Amino acid sequence: SRPPIVGDTVMQTLLKVAHQPPPALRSVSPEADSDLEVIVAKCLEKQPKDRYKTAKNLADDLNRFLCGQTIHARSRSRARKVIDWFGQVPVVAAVTGRQTSGTPIGQRRFQNGILSATLVLPLLLLGGLVWQQRANNAMPTRIRIAGGLPGGLYNRVSEQLSKTLQSRTSVPCEVVPTNGTWDNRERLLAGKFELAPIQATAVNGETLRVVAPLFYEAVHVLIRDDSEIDSVEDLSGQRIAVGPHGSGSRRAAEMVLESLALSESVSPRVEMPWDTLQETNPEVSTEAAIICIGVGSDLVTRMLTEHHWHLLPLPDGVSIALQHPTLHAMTITADAYSGSSIPPAGVHTVGTTAFLVCRDSAPDPLIESTLHSLYEEPSIAGLIPARQAAEWQGLAFHRISRRYYDDLEAAAANSQ
């Protein structure tokens, strides 16, 4: 037998008795019964209120133990044991003002582990930041660019950008046909594209960033030459061909029709491939179509010059733009479609802007190479000039784009 708490000196023994819990009975005598361990632990509690109140209570519990009955004493809760264990960790004891002596090896090892982690954690965080920085500056191994509907400028611009970008970076580039703006937006957010042309109506949210303004898109209200439609009022009751769901053209058409008070019940919408509009079979076509597309598009050019369509003006473009701020009044001029019947004064309509968009996590080298591919010779024809793009305010530009345009403005100011 030996005392429950022993130190190397009398002073150490007294300090341990005062501040450290005694070892569990079965830690020194594994064959001891668990109930007997509880009785011994209650006798050795530091606080008198936690011990047996009288010797009779102790004798009664011992008697119940010997008779195989349930004892009254209860072992300390797991939470209390955990608190007592942590209380013996030197640094915890120092913070809580608790004195310790002869700290158990388990608590010493725990403290050493905490101190080591404290030293290592900043290094791990620094390494993570360095890795993230490298990831931001890593060019993708393949660049996927969204296209658009057949015959549209999205496809043409994306194809030209793809060729120039691949030549500049030697990274394989791929253009994927889509249903247009909203399809591009969803797939860009899902990580299926690195770059996508998107109309202004869809450039929103915290994760999308503008790389560059591309070109202006005009709402083309097209009417068959043999139709009796002479004004927008005559569109009431007519079946109107619009773009498919997921296209920016469809969204712009709906805005215009809403402003003209032409609900779908009044003027039913018809979805069909744009090439179908060039057919003359009345069973598969309509007399009116609304296409929001870049001015000078091949599709509209063929319709105006080869397939007997003409443009119907929207006389109140300012009013429509006030109702839908992403639209603005504009005029389609005669030189945009040479060989057509557009009058010298042009055709009044509304339009919007197409932007090249990426995710905010797009790597810096990709955006930098994209900007050079857009604007440096041989630049892509028909784009909004870089100097004009630099004047745009309030856009959520990618950080590299913002710096690129700021440098352009600074160079222009210095040259004056």
Enumerate the β-bridge partners of residue 61.
none
Could you tell me if 347 and 331 are in contact, meaning their C-beta atoms sit under 8 angstroms apart? yes
| pLDDT at residue 117, rounded to an integer | 75
pLDDT for the residue numbered 357:
96
Query: What local confidence, expressed as pLDDT, does residue 133 receive?
Result: 65
Q: Dump pLDDT digits (tens) for 357-409.
A: 999 999 999 999 999 999 988 777 788 999 888 888 778 999 999 999 999 88
pLDDT value of residue 295 = 86
pLDDT along the chain (416 residues), means of 10: 66 66 78 85 83 90 88 78 67 60 66 75 76 71 89 85 93 92 92 94 88 93 91 91 82 91 88 74 75 86 88 90 90 89 91 93 93 86 87 88 91 78
> What are the b/e assignments for 182-198, b being 16+ CB within 10 Å?
bbbbbbbeeeebbbbbb
Q: What stretches of 171-283 adopt beta strand conformation (E)?
A: 173-176, 196-199, 208-224, 240-242, 269-271
Domains belonging to the chain, first-starting first, are 10-110 (1.10.510.10), 143-207+359-415 (3.40.190.10), 216-353 (3.40.190.10)
Question: What's 278's DSSP letter?
Answer: G
User: Distance (Å, rounded) from C-alpha 248 to C-alpha 240?
Assistant: 16
Write down the pTM of the prediction: 0.62
Residue type, 18: A
At residue 280, the pLDDT reads 61
Helix extents (H) in 141-245: 153-169, 181-189
Structure confidence by residue, pLDDT tens digits, 199-213? 988 888 889 999 999
In angstroms, the CA 115 to CA 109 distance is 10
Cis peptide before 378 (omega within 30 of 0): yes
d(CA 345, CA 343): 5
